[in-house]
A and B are shown apart, each in its own frame.
Chain A
């Protein structure tokens, strides 16, 4: 069986496993949509402004993808390393890359499922606007902007035990969300926070997707930052992956 077909097989069973415990999905699937519904829709000054509403919808879409990537990579990898099922899968004749891509596909599928309600609520209840083409461009930009989060998740998963990973993922997620301007727009930030924010992958992803959807100037720090984060986290992830031989006790 080809590597691609095996990738789909692994992705399929990962999704079946996840879907059998639906409560586990609620956090990442429902939270961004609820945040939009409760914090953005009632604020008519934001919701009625096409510019601010579009930015708010994009911010929460970035948040949805980010929390999904961090949780599903960080926690799944950390948990799987502690379960004997994962070492068993590693003895099967499947290349390691098939298992990595399967994780990317299944996370991607869940991520898409999480942003659909955000886009729908944004379109129905706010003045956010974008052409179908701009939405597609935005999704592509979102996929690129999500890479640093996936890689950070992989690093956390291979570096920590599952219990430690839960705590670290939550801290990292909320820190990146607030400081990256995903909950509060950066125009409200103090200068020092705004400067710090520009170094974070969450802020970079936000600006990158806004640029893809609404056009305008793309400042160099955005794309340079994304490339830098991908490079650094990719090398770190590869190092941690090679070092790993399952869970270690000291």
Chain B
């Protein structure tokens, strides 16, 4: 495994906003790295620092051993715009040609078209493409130069399920051919489908950096809400698997648990009186709170270990 990129105590401010807060991180070859976090967590800023689009306010960013701001260090980098931003008047084939002219050893237009299902569209102006087609072309552009490191910022946001799966398959094939991929997303599902290593970000900091299963056990939470007496509510909070609890003004309590089925079985066996039970999946934002909540021991330790 070789080191492709490195962040060393990197901080980036926009005016008073702290977008990236003292991040240290190493990206090695061979993995698909998922960068997971809610909007405004700093994922896109982190990517743009690696692309050389922005400079850190402090700390250093290294790409292939040099500065990402130097275009020569970007010869083996593949990236794609966050929004579908193709020049509307250019044809699909022209866009691929334009980008491939920048690289020493690009894929052929035919190979790119076949891999990403663009064969029929090469003569179309990009303005005439559907949302999914535009997204496929944008992602394809990241692979045109046979890059060693590919950065994909929200590659499937706004796509339907079929289009998303098609794109994921293409990404996995490219990864098997040797590309290291960094993919940002605020969908847990997407990270689950692609990533081997996962970094969870919130408010510009790294909250967790671990293997996919380890992260899933922390953020793949269910939300169980019920009404119980105050004493009982606290007893329920002591049940195994409950990560966090929140009392509301209406007398209900919300519990975040790793396995809601197990928790309810325990609840019933314990003979605790409750009413108005609802269960739903916790959103990532809610799950992330368990990683940032200082009262939550495990995440606290984890955070300290990562940030050091």
Which residues of B45-78 are within 8 A (CB) of A? 48, 51-55, 71-72, 74-75, 77
Choice from A9, A85, A95 contacting B81 with Cβ under 8 Å:
A85
B118 to chain A, nearest CB (A): 17
- CB pair B52 A83 closer than 8 Å: no
Pairwise interchain contact B99-A246, C-beta atoms closer than 8 A:
no
- CB within 8 Å of B: which of A71-85? 83-85
Contact of A17 among B54, B90, B104, B141 (CB under 8 A): B90
With a CB–CB cut-off of 8 A, which chain A residues contact B54? 245
A88 within 8 A of B: yes
Chain B contact residues: over half helix, strand or loop, or mixed?
Answer: loop
Q: Is B85 an interface residue (CB 8 A)?
A: yes
Residues of chain B within 8 A of A245, CB atoms compared: 53-55
Query: Known: A1-B101, A84-B83, A93-B103. Contact between A13 and B53, CB under 8 A?
Result: no
* Given A1-B101, A93-B74; A246-B53 close (CB under 8 Å): yes
Residues in chain B near residue A96, CB distance under 8 A:
71
- Are A91 and B89 closer than 8 Å at their CB atoms? no
Bound CA–CA A87/B74 (angstroms)? 14
Instruction: Please indicate the chain A residues that have their CB under 8 angstroms from the CB of B141 in the complex.
Output: 88
Given A1-B101, A9-B101, A245-B53, CB of A91 within 8 Å of CB of B74 = yes
User: Is the Cβ of B51 less than 8 Å from the Cβ of A16?
Assistant: no
> Cβ of A88: which chain B residues have Cβ within 8 Å of it?
79-81, 85, 141
**Interface size, chain B (Cβ < 8 Å):** 32
- CB distance A17 to B81 under 8 Å? no
Q: Any chain B CB within 8 A of the CB of A20?
A: yes
Of all chain B residues, the one with the shortest Cβ separation from A87 is B53
Q: Is the CB of A91 within 8 A of B98?
A: no
Q: Does A90 sit within 8 A of B, measured CB to CB?
A: yes
Check B86 for interface membership: any CB of A closer than 8 A: yes
B85 contacts A13, CB within 8 Å?
no
Residue A21, interface by CB 8 Å = yes
Distance from A77 Cβ to chain B, minimum over Cβ atoms (Å): 15
Give the CA-CA distance A246 to B82 in the complex, in Å.
14
- B102 interface residue (CB < 8 Å to A): yes
B102 adjacent to A17 (CB under 8 Å): no
A166 within 8 A of B: no
CA distance A84 to B79 in the complex (A): 12
Q: Is B87 an interface residue (CB 8 A)?
A: yes
- A16–B75 CB distance below 8 A: no
Kindly state the separation between the CA atoms of A94 and B55 in the bound complex, as whole angstroms. 18
Cβ contacts under 8 Å, B83 to chain A:
84
Contact of A93 (CB < 8 Å), options: B72, B82, B87, B98: B72
In the assembled complex, A6 has its CB within 8 A of some CB on chain B: yes
Q: Tell me if B94 counts as interface (CB < 8 A to partner A).
A: yes
Q: In the complex, A93 Cα to B149 Cα: how many Å?
A: 13
Contact A94 B102, CB 8 Å, known A16-B90, A21-B89: yes
Q: A16-B89, A91-B77, A93-B103 are in contact. List 4 more A-B contacts (CB 8 A).
A: A84-B83, A92-B74, A96-B71, A246-B53
Q: Which 9 A-B pairs have the closest CB atoms?
A: A84-B85, A20-B89, A91-B51, A88-B81, A93-B74, A85-B85, A84-B81, A91-B79, A93-B75
